[in-house]
Amino acid sequence: MSSEKTIRSPGRPTGGARVVDRDDILKAAEIVIRRDGAGVSLDAVAKQAGVTKPIVYDRVGGRAELADALAQRLADRMVAAAGNSISGPNASGGLASLIENNLNTVAENRELFLYVTGGLTEQTATSRLYLTQRSALPLAEALTKSRISQGLDPSVAIPWAYGIVGMLQTVSLWWISQEQESAAQVASQIAELLAPGLNRE
């Protein structure tokens, strides 16, 4: 029998269990954020993942990098929920649906949304920007197609998309802090404000 010792990879627990990877860390972060709220520490994330804090830094990074990675996951869910709500010639007709889907996704991921958008000073701005960019680009594409199909100027699609998504983030922060109106009610109100501009010359 060889006397050489097997060298374990960083993060591999004794006993030969698999190495905890980046996705495992992010899943653990979501679990602990959902359970304990947006103020959780990296130590809590590491404990949930069953690794040490240095492993979290190695796989994901610090709190700012973790927030950016979680912002990507949340933005992907928002994009998936939005689907094709605002595609086709009648973009304004799907606007209320898009807003309602966005609000419901925020509600389903409330603590994660607060972690991404309301964290520490060094992380908040970049994470919010990433969330906005990832959410706005598919919307800009849909608005562009809609404008072209109507023979309208498509150059407004990008600033409009960023404006809509930025507004929705602020509306979402307000909405999840109160229980007076449903997602459908708020979506209808915001769509009424925005819809007239979507199909203008």
Domain containing residue 118: 63-198
75 in the same domain as 40: no
114 in the same domain as 53: no
73 in the same domain as 45: no
Share of the chain above pLDDT 70, in %: 81
- Looking at 75-84, 103-112, 180-189, which range is the least confident one? 75-84
Q: Check whether 59 has a pLDDT greater than 50.
A: yes
Average pLDDT over residues 4-32: 69
Element (H, E) at 24: helix 22-36
Q: Per the domain annotation, does 1 fall within a domain?
A: no
Q: Check whether 107 has a pLDDT greater than 90.
A: yes
Supply φ then ψ for residue 57, to 5 degrees. Answer: -60, -40
Query: Which residue blocks in 42-156 are alpha helix, DSSP H?
Result: 42-49, 53-59, 63-82, 95-108, 110-117, 121-149
pLDDT for residue 124 = 56
126 in the same domain as 93: yes
Those residues whose C-beta lies under 8 Å from the C-beta of residue 147, and which sit 6 or more positions away, are 153, 154, 156, 157
Q: Per the domain annotation, does 9 fall within a domain?
A: no
pTM: 0.78
pLDDT for residue 63 = 87
Domain with residue 188: its CATH number is: 1.10.357.10
123 in the same domain as 86: yes
76 in the same domain as 47: no
Q: Check whether 84 has a pLDDT greater than 60.
A: no
pLDDT tens column, 119-128: 554 555 666 7
User: What total of structural domains would you count in the chain?
Assistant: 2
Q: Per the domain annotation, does 145 fall within a domain?
A: yes
Q: Per the domain annotation, does 44 fall within a domain?
A: yes
